[in-house]
Chains A and B, each alone.
Chain A
Amino acid sequence: MNLLYSMFTDYTLRNVAFGTLLLGLGSGAIGSFMTLRRQSLIGDAIAHATLPGVAIAYLLTGSKEPTLLLLGAAIAGVLGIGAITVIIRTTKIDSDGANGIILSIFFGFGLLLLTYIQKLPKSSQAGLDRFIFGQAATIIAKDVWIIAIVQAIVLLALILFFKELKSSTFDPNCMTVMGFNQKTIDAIFAVLLVATIVVGLQTVGVILISALLVAPAAASRQWTNSLKVMVALSSLFSGVSGMIGSLISASTINLPTGPMIVLVLTIFIIISFLFGAKRGLVIRKFEQIKRHKIFDENRILLALSNLEEGHEHSDMYHSVKTISLMVQQQHGIKRLLKQLTQRGLLLDDHRGSYALSEIGSEKVNSLVKEGGYYAN
């Protein structure tokens, strides 16, 4: 509680918390599209590719003004994404390979420049290497404003181009037929992606920023099949994780912000994977058990009906042993028979034998019509 209170009073904490919240809102939204376009790993590549931009911006201007450095990072990021596209399109190297090559070449070159700057007389790279790991504590109000403005533009662009992005994500051919230019949409998307990544570098760092894009999208996907809901949810997850993560890291000395945000996001992922309303593993298991039960019940009913047909004049009651032989299953069969009797589908002669009731026969007839074991 104290922490929440100081979030509004403490200058640094307020900046960090709001900065990460805003960052999360934008990154979660654009990350959904990225993940659905099967480009999850491109975020990582772009993030790493921004490093030489930061270094060159510093070398050229000699200033550590964040806006300038971020601009350099953005240019490098756009170059990186362009290079990846060109490599995929013109060589036999696949997208994974292209991402890896651009990531490592750019990052390696950036590292060369950083270590070079470090040893230049009268300058230190302190302040530059925070882009690698991110240092949320160094965020000032101005940085929060930069994040806010950029993320507002990104969100606005996403809303404006929602239809185009949606169709280019799910059905590029349809979009081309409808007269939109795929390349233009891809370019707009790339610029938005680079912008989101670049403003996150200071807080979360090169290595972990991609998690802020992919993780909330992976979590929100488990709750819905609607793109709109997914984007909104993803944005929410990412924003909330950003804030919680940065608050936890602020509460303990030496806890880095970026990794804490990622760990909080991972909790969201685990919960979503297990309990996601649409696809979660627990729900899936429940449905599987339910389906198994229906399947077993139907088999018993059909078996009894078969037995009746085969022995027209004899007793219509059949022992548990016969039934379990027919359905080739022993485990839990008595329980199933009792349940079916309770629902009025079977008749029990209280001597361990069962027969189809009127309702049971009707059920069998409709089952046969609908196609057998799996019908509900």
Chain B
Amino acid sequence: MQTEIIIIAILSSIACVIPGIFLLLKRMALISDAISHSILPGIVIGFFIKESLNSPYPIIGAIIFAMIMVVTTEAITRTNLVKEDTAIAIIFPPLFSLGVVLISLFAHNVHLDTDAVLLGELAFAPFDRMAIFGTTLPTSMIKMAIILILNLVVMLLLFKELKVSTFDPTLSNSLGFSPSVLHYLLMFMTSITAVGAFDSVGAILVLAFMITPTASALLLTNSLLMMVLISFGLATASSVGGVLLAMRIDAGISGSITTVMGSIFILAYLFSPSNGIVTKIKKQQEIKEDYALSILLYHLLNHCEDDDMETECSYDHLEEQFSYSKNFLKKIVHTAQKEKYVEGQNGIFHITEKGIKKTKKLFNLY
């Protein structure tokens, strides 16, 4: 059963990552959140038709409401009455509220409560099974597998088109594939994925599954293809880690997976080899030290034949001249001595042959 839960988690997270990548790069990450909230009334109405969540009606209803949300947002943005972010922020709350009101008015006695829809519970997913290939598999596993395959097929077939329309809509238009068609395709993909994932992952955390592994990958690479592969890897790792963590401490699975995804993001933010904060600070420090070293060498070279060389090249004078902190100066002088650019006697420094060569090379003095 644990294996089944892990498989469902992996399928859902990879399926979510595919639209997530393009949403994040197109700077519209939060539209997935808005979509996953807006589908609620569609699910509820679809539920009432057959009094069951397993008929196709909730999915159809959800897709209709997702499209209502996308189209209305664009229509409102086009009127220029409000900006796009405001348009998103005023569309999804009433749709979501409508869903909650419908549930509380008509469905408080049936198996459909807001907690289950919004927060999801992967642990229950294996109980709902259907027969296939002579065995029984969890319904949500089959559902997510189908959605994942659909997303993969769309991405593989249209990778070039999606790439161009994401990064350069104008070029995409002039090459003959309309960015708005691809935009609607992406919205459709996001909606289907959100609908499929909502009952196992929960409406709110669909956003986490779509954005978090993707953003971590964005911090780790600058290539789209690598980004796709890394986010798949991170999604898989977080799903496995998250389910195991949840079993260990006996907590909700989707929250646990998100926490693991979040931890990975923090790690990527701090330690990414190309963009990480720690890496950046280290690099800055190195540049600062290199600069200080070259200035020290230049100073020593400049004064090595002066009459007042003894004062100019004394340690005390250097301290005064450069106004570095004591530790920093010590470190720089130490590096210079270690590299044999400088020789020190009684607190007075002489630049060596090697040091002169190095300085001339640094400052192009030939």
Contact = CB atoms under 8 A, between A and B. Distances in A.
B255 A258 contact: no
- Give the contact-size bracket for chain A: 35 or more
Interface string B281-313: 000000000000000000000000000000000
A100 B211 contact: yes
B93 A94 contact: no
Contact of B27 (A96, A103, A109, A210): A96
- Give the contact-size bracket for chain B: 35 or more
Interface string B319-341: 00000000000000000000000
Interface string B183-226: 00000000000000000000011011001100100110000000
Nearest to B258: A108
A202 interface: no
B49 interface: no
A254 interface: yes
Contact of A101 (B101, B215, B275): B215
A211 interface: yes
A218 B82 contact: yes
B68 to A, nearest CB: 14
B234 interface: no
A112 B259 contact: yes
Q: Tell me if A's interface is mostly helix, strand, loop or mixed.
A: helix
Contacts of A210: 89, 93
B248 to A, nearest CB: 11
Nearest to A221: B82
B233 interface: no
B170 interface: no
B211 A101 contact: yes
A353 B119 CA distance: 75
A235 interface: no
B217 to A, nearest CB: 11
Interface string A98-138: 01110111111111111110010000000001001100000
Interface stretch (A35-43, A56-64, A154-162, A303-311): A35-43
A351 interface: no
Contact of B258 (A105, A114, A269): A105
Contacts of B204: 48, 104, 107, 207
Contact of A263 (B98, B105, B257, B280): B98
B43 to A, nearest CB: 15
Given A93-B218, A111-B119, A105 B261 contact: yes
A108 B96 contact: no
Given A100-B211, A259-B100, A269-B90, A108 B205 contact: yes
Interface string A205-238: 0011011001101100110000000000000000
Contacts of A111: 119, 205, 252, 254-255, 258
Contacts of B79: 273, 281
A48 B93 CA distance: 14
A44 interface: yes
Given A96-B30, A108-B255, A254-B104, A87 B269 contact: yes
A214 B81 contact: no
Given A104-B258, A112-B259, A211-B89, A256 B27 contact: no
A112 B256 CA distance: 5
Interface of A: 35, 38-41, 43-44, 48, 87, 90-94, 96-97, 99-101, 103-116, 119, 129, 132-133, 207-208, 210-211, 214-215, 217-218, 221-222, 252, 254-256, 258-260, 262-263, 265-266, 269, 273, 276, 279, 281
